Amino acid sequence: MIRFLSLSFFLFFSFVNSSSCKNFIGNPHKTPLPERTVPATNSGLRVEPANWWAGMKHNRVEVLFQRDDLASYEVTLGKTDGVKLIKAEKGDSPNYLFVTLEISPKAQAQKVPVIFSKGTNTFTHEYPVLSRNRAVKGQGVTSRDVIYLIFPDRFANGDPSNDNVPGMLQGLQRDELVGRHGGDLKGIRDHLDYIRDLGFTAIWLNPELENDQADASYHGYAVTDHYRVDRRFGTNEQFRELVAECHRRGIKVIRDVVLNHIGDNHYWMKDLPAQDWVNQWPEFTRTNYRAPALLDPYASEYDKKHFSDGWFDKRMPDLNQRNPHVANYLIQQAIWWIEWAGLDDLRIDTYPYSDQAFCTRWVTALLEEYPNLGIFGEAWEHAVPVVGYFADDQPMKRANFDSNLPGVIDFQLCFAVREALTREQGWTEGAAKIYYTLAQDYFYKDPYKNQIMLDNHDMTRIFSHVGEDLDKFKAGMAFLLTMRGIPQIYYATEILGTGFEAPSHGNIRKDFPGGWPDDPLNKFTAEGRTAAENEAFNFTRALIRYRNATPALQTGKLMQFVPENGVYVYFRYDEAKTVMVVLNFSNDNKTLETSRFAERMAGFAKAKNVATGEILNDISKVVVGKNGTVVLEMMQ
């Protein structure tokens, strides 16, 4: 998510009043359906989710129906096969009904007649209960994977016809850093071979759902329709086809989920289903961005409430997940997309800001339906105990609270390696920061489920961060791809993408050169890249492929040694292989005596340099250049 320290570009947003858009939805069947949620005879009826499935563990579905004056209607069911009406509840608005259906485990696919009656006025909506698609889904992303993070609007424009969509608030503004540039789902699909060639086994897309906001809608984190892909990216069906195409190439797909807030142009904000649907304040109140308040033994209730219930930004209303209908909606929406599109995993934006009891319920419901999910939450915090607080089975004493969240985004490790690459070395600074951070891994039930990175869509790009020093870049990449956890690389990092956070996050979300038909250079090809870019690309690709072929780097044990004189050494190993990583964070060339690493090097007489293929017949000493790295596979 966009961090609060760099929110200046949000502050010029203005409220925009516009009529609600019709709700479109992709096809949950194999045959084409009209792009509307209901038959024409029920014009104006919104239905979310538009269908459910037989045979789901989550077999009680609460359907949100919305139409003018709908709450004045009574609800019954016509003839069904194993589907019961449990209840129909009204909200505060006269235009909503929440209808709970229970689908028997033995129920078959059918259309459930939901009958709405008001005196002599009656209409019926046939609610689809479908047979489940047995295609691969919910595989989960693990430390055996390497993730490519893609900003959809800035990666590639495969279909210029959707750059400007009539009725939507923003069109193409490629000359504006925070405008829409036209990247889309087809552009991603067109370059899957490039992604696969690099060795990536998963892609994570920044949010692709509709963000029909007046300004900066390109970033995706202000959702205005939870069941509709932004039409400037493509259609629901194109999204599902993209997932299927990824699966054919052995690539998993991660959805970026926003639970905490919505965009202020969401249809809910024009007609709240309940007055407590969002967290209300007498006047606009921003969150204090202080997650430690949730675990601080000395925290005030004032600070806790302002953290959890304050709005992330003026244009991002804060959802109240203590409202049971909000909670049900968000749980079902996540399940629906996994089941319908075949998604493999979920990344949760601004995870600590949501109600934590709800988060536990949300994660638990998803894991019950899809046990292999490796959900990871964004907890951008500044101490391992604070980040660890939100991870599964955290060992600190917590009253009746366990997140069940399998993993978190490991910001502390990211901050540590970024510091090691740029700061003077000291007792706790530089390389020592990595050492101290990893020494706290006991805070996590399984740190191998944490997602690790050098940068992302909210941070100064790593190549810029290290002063465009190629050696430092390669050292960082070697660390990332040999460390425990699930590595994530931000798009264009492999070609030395640059950009600083200030003055705009648009600087770190630049277009991938070659992704647009009129681009003068195509850096998807070796011919379009400079010599330095090709060196970075080839180095990155070689290490990703080596990691993919080396279980010791995926699931093997980790042993680190105390850094000395700016040199940090660690080993990844299993019964089959031992890999030694030497990182020199100093500005001097080093010749490293290896005798102190005997407990991991004993029995090995030589080693292979993973990057160059060179065989070292004498490993009593290892030479590593300034700001350099050596990755060695130990040999008998």
Q: Token pair for residue 564?
A: 């000395």
Evaluate whether 188 touches 242 at the Cβ level (below 8 Å). yes
Evaluate whether 609 touches 586 at the Cβ level (below 8 Å). no
User: pLDDT-derived band of residue 12, with 50, 70 and 90 as boundaries?
Assistant: very low
**Main-chain phi, psi angles of 443, to 5 degrees:** -70, -15
pLDDT of residue 402: 84
337 SS3 class: helix
pLDDT of residue 128: 98
- CA torsion sign for 418, 423, 429, 432 is positive
**CB-based contacts of 97, cutoff 8 Å, min separation 6:** 64, 65, 66, 70, 71, 73, 75, 88, 89, 90, 91
pLDDT tens, 287-314? 999 999 999 999 999 999 999 999 999 9
pTM: 0.93
pLDDT tens, 44-85? 899 999 999 999 999 999 999 999 999 999 999 999 999 999
Taking phi over 0 as left and psi of -120 to 50 as alpha, with beta for the rest, 234 belongs to left
- CA torsion sign for 584, 587, 589, 593 is negative
Asked if the model's pLDDT at residue 178 lies above 90, the reply is: yes
The vertex-407 CA angle with 201 and 484, nearest 5°, equals 60
Domain ranges in the chain? Answer: 40-130, 556-635
**CB-based contacts of 114, cutoff 8 Å, min separation 6:** 63, 65, 75, 77, 78, 99, 124, 125, 126, 127
Average pLDDT score over residue span 167-192? 97
* High-pLDDT (> 90) share of the chain, %: 90
Asked if the model's pLDDT at residue 9 lies above 70, the reply is: no
Strand 606-609 to 567-573 pairing: unpaired
Burial class of residue 560 in the structure, from the number of CB atoms within 10 Å of its CB (0-12 exposed, 13-18 middle, 19+ buried): middle
In the numeric block, the tokens 């009043």 are attached to: 17
Q: Token pair for residue 183?
A: 């990247």
pLDDT tens, 528-578? 999 999 999 999 999 999 999 999 999 999 999 999 999 999 999 999 999
pLDDT of residue 1: 52
CA 237 to chain centre: 21
**CB-based contacts of 399, cutoff 8 Å, min separation 6:** none
pLDDT of residue 401: 72
Q: Which of 560, 571, 544, 422 minimizes the C-alpha distance to 488?
A: 544
Average pLDDT score over residue span 189-215? 98
Q: Which of 329, 363, 318 minimizes the C-alpha distance to 345?
A: 363
Asked if the model's pLDDT at residue 201 lies above 80, the reply is: yes
Report the residue count for the chain.
636
In whole angstroms, give the CA distance from residue 618 to residue 121.
89
Strand residue runs (E) in 194-251: 202-205, 209-210, 225-229
pLDDT tens, 474-493? 999 999 999 999 999 999 99
Q: Which of 501, 496, 504 minimizes the C-alpha distance to 530?
A: 496
One-letter identity of residue 483: M
pLDDT of residue 82: 97
One-letter identity of residue 430: G
Average pLDDT score over residue span 130-152? 97
**Same topology for domains 40-130 and 556-635, yes or no?**
yes
pLDDT tens, 190-199? 999 999 999 9
Burial class of residue 540 in the structure, from the number of CB atoms within 10 Å of its CB (0-12 exposed, 13-18 middle, 19+ buried): buried
The CATH architecture to which 40-130 belongs is Sandwich (2.60)
Q: Mean of the per-residue pLDDT values for the chain?
A: 92
Q: Which of 629, 204, 120, 598 minimizes the C-alpha distance to 378?
A: 204
From edge to edge, which strands make up the β-sheet containing 121-130? Answer: 52-53, 121-130, 110-118, 74-77
H-helix segments, 35-105: none
Strand 147-150 to 486-490 pairing: parallel
Asked if the model's pLDDT at residue 120 lies above 70, the reply is: yes
pLDDT tens, 385-426? 999 999 988 765 565 578 999 999 999 999 999 999 999 999
pLDDT of residue 502: 87
Cis peptide before 28 (omega within 30 of 0): no
Evaluate whether 139 touches 252 at the Cβ level (below 8 Å). yes
Cis peptide before 503 (omega within 30 of 0): yes
pLDDT of residue 398: 61
Residues carrying an active site annotation? 349, 378
Asked if the model's pLDDT at residue 99 lies above 60, the reply is: yes
Evaluate whether 440 touches 503 at the Cβ level (below 8 Å). no
The vertex-63 CA angle with 57 and 69, nearest 5°, equals 170
One-letter identity of residue 517: P
Pick the CATH number of 556-635 from 3.30.420.40, 3.30.70.2740, 1.10.260.40, 2.60.40.1180: 2.60.40.1180
Average pLDDT score over residue span 216-236? 97
Evaluate whether 453 touches 465 at the Cβ level (below 8 Å). no
